[in-house]
Structure 1
Amino acid sequence: MEIRDHSSQFTVYVFTSDVDQGAAMKVHLSQAGYDAYFIHDPEQLEQRLNDTPPHLLVFSTATLAGALSDFVVHVQKINDEIRFIAISSLSQFEILKQYESFGFMDVISDEAAAIESRVLWAVDRACEKMYLSFQNEQLFEDLESTKKQLEDVHAAAVKTMQHQEEEAARPSFPMRIAEYRSAQSKEDMIQRFLNGISGSRCLFFKFLPSVRSFVATHANGIDAAQIQGVGSQLTTEEMKDLGSLLAMGLLPAKFSSMLVEAFHLNPPKAIPLYGNSQLEGLFVYSGSMDSKAVAQLTDEYTLFNLCYSNFVLEKKVDALEVQDFVTELYNRNHYVKIMEEEVARARRLKQPLAIVKISMDDFYEIESSLGEAVRDELLKSLATVIAKSSRTNDTNYRTAANELTMVLPHCSKKGAALRAERVRRVVEGSSFLDKGMKISISLGVSEYPSLCDSAKTLDETAAKALAHIADKGGNKICLYKAPESHKPEFEVPAE
């Protein structure tokens, strides 16, 4: 995410007795889009905290008249949602670590060099974490709200069907809900919706924004062969007006003409399908359908849309369980699960499986001197470099605080070593952060079956290789050497 798109939503107070430094910090933050204020008087701070509490309070420990603990407790009594960034001498860092559970987001050295930039970096990372946290809370609220709507619709539908004998031949609402909830994918759910409106000719066109196109993927009442390769590309102008057109129940002219000519939908009508507020496609039907068929379609769509929204939210929640917050790579839990599957597949196909473990050199020195915010930004940048170097079937993970892992199916130890060296050189030749910071990495490589015999030993041997080369000074790769007693389960062809 880009925090600059959202910085205006955050209020930041800077509290320090150093007038020049505080004013400079306030200007730096305001230029970045934050609603920033500089306060040097304790009484004024007290008043402002009570009247308009900020999201973030940046304060200098040297400014405090009393104990740090008293200050923190007092602020949290006023508003326990205020988060802190402390500016302090290096000697106090260990003490300040004890306040992490009291809303401390970061601690910054009070050295004068580039302090405004360092404060801005810390504020950026803190606000990014808060924004994502707010998003996750909203996601769970949306999920619960959708489930509640689903329950309400279910209850109302059961009551209504008791008074409608003509609906007796149709599956009950509980059965239809169960049918949708058993779907394994979005595509499966779309097809189940179309199956539920038998007798009505209806098509689904998937929206591909990257190529400005609608492509037919599903249909009811139309032979599957008739929709293969059918689609319509929009002009740039039509893309701009698409949202407004759909809101008015209209379609782009060229798309509408194609539907009339190819499928005799005259006039064509469309129901847009959204997921996570993004257009995913259109259900298209004929405007000449009788009112009973239209009522059946819209009734079924209401139920389908609630189930579809619930499905999308559940999948998004599932993603949170397997994703690392900082790097947006998969996390260690997912890595442990997938490694057993990957080794089993490699054994079955008699194809090699390699992994490359990567650590940032001087990781803890960077963390202690520049702070967690800079550390996280460097990890995120490193993860981006790794992702850009990956093939389609490769997967990448954050498996420890200072360990990223590349899983490379169908890749021998030689190929993995070459890949690792390529990544090392890219990182070595790149500059990170706005200040042009340079970093280096160490990489450990292992491969099944040439160097080990299981998912567990594949992980362990790569970790040993990484630890060995990191201890030697880093900025190199190390290929694990198997013991002479090791016998591969199958031979890997020479490259």
Structure 2
Amino acid sequence: MNFSDSKAQFCIFVFFPNADLNTEIKGSLVEEKYDTYIFMDQETLIERVKEAAPHVVIFSPEALLTPMSEFVSQVLSANSEVQFLCVADADQAEALKEYREYNLAGMIAAGEKLKERCVWQVDQVCQTLFRTYQNEDLLKKTEELLQENETLKSQRNEEKAKATVISDSSIGQKIQLYSAATTKDEVLIHFINQLSCQAIYFKYLPTVQSFVATHSHGLDIEAIKGVGTRLEATETAHLLDLLKSGEIPPALAELMKEGLRIGQYFPKPVIVQNSTLTGLDGLFIFWGAEGFHFQQIESDFLIFSLLYQQAHLIKRSEGLDVYDPLTELYNRPHFVHKLEEEIARARRLEKPVSVVCLSLDHMHEIDQSFGRNNRDMILRVIAAIVKKTSRVNDISCRTADSEFSLILPHCGRRGAALRAERLRRIIEAHAFGLGDFKVTISCGVSEYPSLSKGADDLTQSAGQALEFIVGRGGNKVCLYKPMEAFKPDFEVHG
């Protein structure tokens, strides 16, 4: 399940002194599928938190009957995980900083387009919570898989003398043969080397929708390495279901028949678990002499699959705190942390730092017309392009469902805008395999110190620039323009 499908699971409390404003904000959030409730008095809200705590409370200080510190304390004493979003004037931002350690997830500037800003901020907070829950689930799955492996090893030691369902060796003995293999590639190579039949392993590259041969047994790998085929969008729509049924895409079947002269074979997908996303990592194709059947190696393949998945999960868990599982870019919490560091460095060196917020245009249309698999493929391709075009010290992150944020140290606003425009053109020209549909992005750009006062202001101003250009049709770059009275912390030269 992705974040968009999960919004209804997030509960939002709205607390303003104005009944009309309460209703308007609730309407905007309900339209986005959030489970939303409005309150007109503080005591009722606190009692409701005690009964069933929300994920987020949006409030205005004017609605409070007590000091803000007392209100926050009352809510957190009922449930320490509630996140706060405070709607206030810009001149109150400094005073609100002390509440960051008390779950203040953000400040929303009062004024025009308040509804849109509230929805955007709720999206950011809930997206972060969603990723956190995914990571917790992945840790649990990793622990369960490691425990399962330990159980198998224990069974090997306790029942060493007993016969097992695998006639030629115990499960534990076969697992022990993999003891030196610590990475997915090492597990794969060990499995191939001990096969009694012939096989080819095709690595699946989702960003280019292709299968590429990387390993083989019984064939000269140097002669076929890199051989592969690219799939059409129609072939990827239900690819995993097709492979599980024992079939392969027509393009790959043609390669096996005409290119490799192999008629009868047994395809088996290699599947890995990325948090809540089950994905295709590659495809084995087995064949042998007359009379060969996959059942002869099925138990070996099951053990390989278990250990391959374990190696994958261990590697994933090493970067669990900082990486987005779909795109393998940094996640939003890491973005927030690194931006604070870069702002501090910029102040110390008196060098600029810029942020580019970019989002996929027409996400809803893509979901409806091409499905989630193609939507995820597009996001992975965009992430790959972002990484490929980044400088060594750039920090690339996925900060929302269809949004990426780039931190560009020592880069002024003009350089950041040029970088954003280059990305926009590359993605617009890229062939995503979706027929006549053109994939485009919109970009919002801001810079410290020339256009913002700090990390939060830099993120918010880039987001506002993005929101502005998306509202005017998208597929463009917008550079944030501060108020005329804005004064930078220092002057940027050159």
State how far apart, in whole Å, the 2-side matches of 1:269 and 1:7 are.
41
Q: Distance in 2 between matches of 1:320 and 1:390?
A: 19
CA contact (8 A) 1:84 1:105 kept: yes
Correspondent of 2:224 among 218, 224, 227: 227
| CA 330–230 in structure 1, closer or farther in 2 if over 3 Å, else same | farther
* 1:312 pairs with 2:323: no
Cα displacement (A) at 1:153:
2.7
Secondary structure of the corresponding residue to residue 219 of structure 1:
strand
Paired residues for 1:114-263 under 5 Å: 114-159=113-158, 162-164=161-163, 167=168, 172-173=173-174, 175-181=176-182, 183=183, 186-197=184-195, 199-225=196-222, 227-228=224-225, 230-253=227-250, 255-256=252-253, 258-259=255-256
**Rg larger in 1 or in 2?**
1
What is the Cα deviation at residue 217 of structure 1? 1.9
Structure 1 partner of 2:424: none
CA–CA distance in structure 1, aligned partners of residues 37 and 337 of structure 2:
38
TM-score, normalised via structure 1 length: 0.64
Relative to the length of structure 2, the TM-score reads 0.65
Shift of residue 92 of structure 1? 5.2
Larger CA deviation: 259-268 vs 303-312 = 259-268
CA contact (8 A) 1:22 1:38 kept: yes
Matched, 1:279 2:280: yes
RMSD: 4.5
Give the stretch that moved more between structures: 168-177 or 37-46.
168-177
Q: Distance in 1 between matches of 2:302 and 2:383?
A: 43
Mapped partners of 1:172, 1:395: distance in 2: 45
Distance 2:14 2:22 in 1: 6
Structure 1 segments unaligned to the other structure (5+ residues): 336-355, 362-377, 407-418, 442-469, 478-495
For residue 214 of structure 2, what is the amino acid of its counterpart? Answer: T
Instruction: Provide the residue aligned with 2:473 in structure 1.
Output: none
Match of 1:426 in 2: 418
> Relative to 1, partners in 2 of residues 1:297 and 1:106: Cα closer, same or farther, differing over 3 Å?
same
Structure 1 residues 270, 48: CA separation in 2 closer, same or farther (over 3 Å shift)? Answer: same
The 8 Å contact of residues 232 and 254 in structure 1, kept in 2 or not, is answered as: yes
Q: 1:13 to 1:160 in 2, by over 3 A?
A: same
Tell me if the contact between 1:269 and 1:287 (Cα under 8 Å) persists in the aligned partners: no
Matches of 2:20 and 2:305 in 1, distance apart? 57
Deviations 1:92-138 (A, max 9, x none): 545543332332212334x4333223322322221222222222222
Q: Secondary structure at the match of 1:127?
A: helix
Match of 1:465 in 2: none
Alpha carbons 1:357, 1:405 under 8 Å: kept: no
Is residue 2:292 matched to residue 1:297?
A: no
Cα–Cα, structure 1 residues 170 and 315, in superposed 2: closer, same or farther, change >3 Å? closer
**Aligned with 1:112: secondary structure?**
coil
Shift of 1:65: 1.9
What displacement does 1:20 show? 1.7
Report the residue type matching 2:415 in the other structure: V
Asked whether the 8 Å contact 2:88–2:107 carries over to 1, the reply is: yes
> How much has 1:255 moved relative to structure 2?
3.4
* Equivalent position amino acid for 1:207 in 2: Y
Give the C-alpha shift of residue 307 in structure 1: 2.2
Q: Which moved more, 1:429-438 or 1:59-68?
A: 429-438
Q: Is the 8 A contact 2:41 2:63 kept in 1?
A: no
- Tell me how far 1:12 sits from its aligned partner: 1.2
Query: In structure 2, what residue type is equivalent to 1:473?
Result: E
For residues 288-307 of structure 1, give each alpha carbon's deviation from its aligned partner in whole angstroms, at most 9, with x where no partner exists. 7768x845622222222222
1:260 and 1:137 map into 2 onto residues whose CA distance is: 45
Q: What residue in structure 2 maps to residue 450 of structure 1? A: none
2:26 and 2:38 in contact (8 A); partners too: yes
1:49 & 1:170 partners in 2: Cα distance?
A: 51
Q: Shift of the alpha carbon at 1:223?
A: 2.7
Partners of 1:24 and 1:131 in 2: CA distance: 25
Counterpart amino acid of residue 231 in structure 1: G
* AA aligned opposite 1:145: E
> What residue is the counterpart of 1:435 in the other structure?
468
Distance 2:54 2:172 in 1: 54
Q: Does 1:359 align with 2:358?
A: no
Report the counterpart of residue 481 of structure 1 in structure 2. none
Count of matched residue positions in the alignment of Structure 1 and Structure 2: 391
